[in-house]
Structure 1
Amino acid sequence: MPRISLGDHGAAVAEIRGILADQGFLADYAVPDTLVTNGWTVPEAVFDRRLDRATRAFQQHRGLLVDGIVGPATYRALRESTYTLGARTLSFHASAPPTGDDVATLQARLQNLGFYAGMIDGHFGPQTHLGLTAYQREFGLVADGICGPATLRSLTFLGSRVTGGSPHAIREEEEVRRSGPRLSGKRIVIDPGLGGEQTGLLLEGADGVRMTEEEVLWDLGSRLEGRMAAAGMDTYLSRPRGMAASDSSRAYTANTFDADLMISLRTAHYRNERGHGVASFHFGNSHGSISTIGRNLAGFVQREIVARTPLADCHYHGRTWDIVRLTRMPTIQIDVGYATNPGDAAVLTSATYRDTIAEAILVAVKRLYLLGENDRPTGTYTFAELLALEEAGQ
């Protein structure tokens, strides 16, 4: 779909306005009486300042990039917000799994009844299907994995077995604890951004060094891969060097490898040079679901990179992007700097700093599996010390 923003007009703008009004982001909104020839009112069909503010508020609430632009991700979230449980029949379709707030409501009810331990992400995947069929068998329904009228009535009548807490968080933390502190044998997908014809901006660094964003991210990913392999980890790249890939296909690749973690590397952009710094992102949504291990890893990454480089700390945040939502393992995205900022560009085009960032990420992963034991102060743990601990079985 086209990107819709401030100043645009037409039927799509009217649809966006109507959804945001229904969701409570346009208080006291009333449809005017004056109609134009296409059936829409003039205020409805114009993307004005008020609609821009409402769009940004919706994006913030849904864990999206807050830019006031209704692109594919924001439009998908708008459409998903319109679904309520019972408005449609839900079932698993491998080629096009249903997504929406109705799926999130179903997941929450199954989780409270003890039949679903995944993230409440509004994505009807295989785990939701298994939880639904298990519930249906337990309560004497046809175990067809279809959430139709009979299943909905049953879910409505039954109360929760448990409330509070997060089975998904408990499961994530237990998997990390059981896997032990050693990095050897851990399966990691490294996901350099861009690829193929998508090369991004040309960055200029010190001493006349010039690199595209794709070159920076691929080189950083390669350096990280080398260090992880030296520590005994099984590493996979999400794409070949000469191929671009969507976030959903990158997530599918990680799921195919049955990875323990996925680390996505990206660069950020801003409309001028003022935006700068490093930020990390994990899964977290407005339904209260969060990847606890993803959040912990994002925090470790932030602290290690900021302690070792001149990059400003833009902190870590929960998001609902496909790259963190569609993966079955804890996934983080690291925006390693702003391609539009000369200072950040100088850091990213420096081979020394790319080495430093790769080391910081590896140390952050080690900290995750140490679970606070034998910890070192932030920014002081070296690659050589890490390898020594690995050789000692710690």
Structure 2
Amino acid sequence: MQLLRRGDSGPAVEEIRTTLRQLGLLSDVPPGSPQVFDDQTDHAVRVFQQGRGLITDGIVGPDTARALREAGWALGDRMLSFTLSTPTTGDDVSTLQERLLELGYNPGRPSGLFDQQTEQALIRFQRDYGMVPDGVCGPETLRALRQLGRKVTGGRPHLLREQELLRRAGPRMRGKRIVIDPGHGGPDRGVEVAGVTEADLMWDLGRRLVGRMSATGMEALLSRPENGNPPEAERAEFANRVGADLVVSLHTDASFSPHAQGMATFFFGNGSGTTSNVGAEFADLVQRELLTRTSMLDCRSQPVTWELVRRTRMPAVRIETGYLTHLGDRRKLLDPGFRDVVAEGILVAVKRLYLLGQDDQPTGTFTFNDVLAREYGRDEIPAV
């Protein structure tokens, strides 16, 4: 799609302005006013982006355009059902998922995507309350959802469920399934500077991470082949299909400014209370481990609604390992020893996540051999 930004005009801009007015982010304008992406529109877009976990740049690209479309739907505006080819998305779907969770049915994380898990939760609700179990949220189902009180109390249900799954998983790494997602690939090389490409560096980092995780007894799977570049939705579907416990997506960043530098981590959070708490905790652990081990600049952990972290049913974290456009960061990323340090830091963050704060060590002091020793015992550490 065409990127829309300050100074643009036309019907597409007016459509964006109409949506922003409906959301209360832009004031009404007199009829016949120019259809211009002006300063007020730019500000409204930035406020919307910030509230939705999007990059706050004032530019309406594919992610912002999608989020604007979805924000225009309220529960009851339309019939909701599962379609395999083009799944229904929108704020009305998020509301439906939240309501099902409150009533004790599990559609997964309230992502705003009407998937098969949402359909099955809706069918169970309909069957239990004497309706035709067709998986369609129509007028009768909607009335029942609005009339019934909450069954789950003590916190947001999806957060309670995610935290309980983490607790039940136990501290051992053996048997846990992790999807490693090296960014880009195939003809899409990602960020490219001076012959160095994001796709190549992250593939190498991904392989190093897979090797270390496999040595601990974990099942580490790559989301793509070396020369492949599946869309983010397919990468998320792969993680869902194999039943992963965690997803780690690896990227580098870029900026027009040569001074931009540092590491950042991202987890699912939509700005309206739906957040992956385990994802946020994991992102924070990764961020702190990597900063301590590498002395990179801290660009913080942040909630986002990007497709990969949104569509995965398990906690997913995207790691921006540095700016290829920054000379210092690029020198570090080109060093195999640095990539080994990053791989070890991510592995230790996974271990610390499952330890739940029990028998842990200070940030940056846990090593790969320490992890192996806890899994096998000092005398049983396998050769790596």
Match of 2:314 in 1: 329
Q: Offset of 1:163 from its aligned partner? A: 4.6
Helix, strand or coil at the partner of 2:321: strand
Amino acid at match of 1:97: P
Match of 2:2 in 1: 2
Please identify runs of 4+ aligned residues in structure 1 that moved more than 4 A. none
Match of 1:38 in 2: none
CA contact (8 A) 2:103 2:150 kept: yes
Helix, strand or coil at the partner of 1:285: coil
Helix, strand or coil at the partner of 2:85: coil
Tell me whether 1:130 sits opposite 2:128 in the alignment.
Answer: no
Q: Map of 1:1-394 to 2, 5 A cutoff?
A: 1-26=1-26, 29-34=27-32, 41-42=33-34, 45-116=35-106, 118-163=108-153, 165-203=155-193, 211-392=196-377
Helix, strand or coil at the partner of 1:302: helix
Distance 2:146 2:186 in 1: 50
Helix, strand or coil at the partner of 1:315: strand
- Tell me the TM-score normalised to structure 2 length: 0.95
Q: Offset of 1:211 from its aligned partner? A: 2.5
Helix, strand or coil at the partner of 2:252: strand
CA contact (8 A) 2:102 2:157 kept: no
Deviation string 1:285-309 (CA, Å, 9 cap, x unpaired) is 1331111211111011000000000
Distance 2:75 2:64 in 1: 21
Structure 1 unpaired stretches of 5+:
35-40, 205-209
Amino acid at match of 1:6: R
CA contact (8 A) 2:252 2:320 kept: yes
Helix, strand or coil at the partner of 2:235: helix
Helix, strand or coil at the partner of 1:375: coil
Structure 2 unpaired stretches of 5+:
none
Mean Cα deviation higher: 171-180 or 211-220? 171-180
What is the number of residues matched between the two proteins? 379
Counterparts in 2 of 1:53 and 1:390: CA distance versus 1, 3 Å: same
Q: Offset of 1:161 from its aligned partner? A: 3.1
Q: Offset of 1:367 from its aligned partner? A: 0.3
Amino acid at match of 1:30: D
CA contact (8 A) 2:210 2:220 kept: yes
Distance 1:319 1:201 in 2: 20
Counterparts in 2 of 1:179 and 1:164: CA distance versus 1, 3 Å: closer
CA contact (8 A) 1:117 1:167 kept: no
Distance 1:157 1:167 in 2: 19
Deviation string 1:236-263 (CA, Å, 9 cap, x unpaired) is 1111111112111110111121111110
Distance 1:159 1:60 in 2: 32
Deviation string 1:321-354 (CA, Å, 9 cap, x unpaired) is 1100111111110111112222211211111111
Distance 2:190 2:321 in 1: 14
CA contact (8 A) 2:191 2:252 kept: no
Helix, strand or coil at the partner of 2:351: helix
Amino acid at match of 1:342: L
Q: Offset of 1:203 from its aligned partner? A: 3.9
Amino acid at match of 2:357: G
Distance 2:98 2:320 in 1: 31
Helix, strand or coil at the partner of 2:267: strand
Amino acid at match of 1:284: G
CA contact (8 A) 1:117 1:168 kept: no
Distance 2:28 2:163 in 1: 48
CA contact (8 A) 1:120 1:287 kept: no
Distance 2:262 2:332 in 1: 10
Distance 2:356 2:146 in 1: 40
CA contact (8 A) 1:337 1:345 kept: yes
Distance 2:149 2:355 in 1: 39
CA contact (8 A) 1:118 1:167 kept: no
Deviation string 1:10-59 (CA, Å, 9 cap, x unpaired) is 10000001101111111xx223233xxxxxx41xx211122111111100
Q: Offset of 1:187 from its aligned partner? A: 0.7
Q: Offset of 1:233 from its aligned partner? A: 1.2
Distance 1:227 1:63 in 2: 32
Amino acid at match of 1:383: F
- Tell me the TM-score normalised to structure 1 length: 0.92
CA contact (8 A) 2:107 2:120 kept: no
Counterparts in 2 of 1:347 and 1:203: CA distance versus 1, 3 Å: farther
Distance 1:166 1:193 in 2: 32
Q: Offset of 1:86 from its aligned partner? A: 1.0
Distance 1:123 1:114 in 2: 19
Mean Cα deviation higher: 341-350 or 326-335? 341-350
CA RMSD of aligned residues (A): 1.7
Distance 1:57 1:165 in 2: 28
Deviation string 1:68-121 (CA, Å, 9 cap, x unpaired) is 111111101000000111111001112222110111111122222222362222
CA contact (8 A) 2:107 2:119 kept: no
Distance 1:118 1:140 in 2: 23
